[in-house]
Amino acid sequence: MNRCYVYVEGNSDQLRAWRRHASLPSHPNALTSEDLYLSALPLLDRVKQELISRGWREITPTAGVEHWALLTPSTALAVLEEEGEGGEDLDEGDPSSSSSAIPPQPTSRIFSIPTNLRALVTNVPRWTHLFNDNTFFRPIEHQEHGIILTSNVDTMLVDVFYLLQLILPGALTLVKERHDERVFSTRTSRPFPPLAWMEEHKAIISPIFGESYYSVLTMRSRDGSTLLDFLDT
């Protein structure tokens, strides 16, 4: 049995350990991942405007968690409001909140991006639900490119995911698990976008990272599908 999914990591120690394991250097200009995310927000806002032009509807984002939130074109707002009635709100802006506190699951009709990276790593269940929602995404095994992410709604959602992968390496990983009781079980991981995506989007994303660091990320992307872990049988 094969299974593909997105794994979201929010533990800072694990993220640092992953960077060491991947031999990923710091940014040459000492920019942090949060700095890179701030630099990427104008591009992500342009993505939002493009989606709106395609029929998506902007709704009020969750304070402290979402930078923006959009309703899929086929969803009536009245349906969304009806689904939300009677639900309890969690104060996810509370600094004491952590990934162990499971927030209310967002409706599958809403796509959003985090306010900042802290909102990503401290709300792991929320983003795990979003990036594994087959309303929006479908990870598959591609014959040429290995594990890739596809979208059932709009390819720009995949672009957003891959950009987040680059900004905070190790936080969002595409995983394929193969379970065979007669042999063994394996896990193949892709923590970076496919090389073809990197090359296709170079003109758009390299200004965010700088040419030097973009080259480093491209090299890691080239090796991204070769990671193999053995699972417990």
What is the 3 state secondary structure string of the chain?
CEEEEEEECCCHHHHHHHHHHCCCCCCCCCCCHHHHHHHHHHHHHHHHHHHHHCCCEEECCCCCCEEEEEECCCCCHHHHHHHHCCCCCCCCCCCCCCCCCCCCCCCCCEEEEECCHHHHHCCHHHHHHHHCCCCCEEEEEECCCEEEEEECCCHHHHHHHHHHHHHCCCCEEEEEEECCCCCCCEEEEECCCCHHHHHHCHHHHHHHHCHHHHHHHHHHHHCCCCEEEECCC
pTM over 0.95: no
Per-residue pLDDT of the chain (233 residues; tens, 9 = 90+): 778 899 999 999 999 998 888 889 999 999 999 999 999 999 999 999 999 999 999 999 999 999 999 999 876 454 455 445 443 333 333 333 333 333 344 446 899 999 999 999 999 999 999 999 998 999 988 777 678 999 989 999 999 999 999 999 999 999 988 777 666 667 778 899 999 999 999 999 999 999 999 999 999 888 654 444 434 33
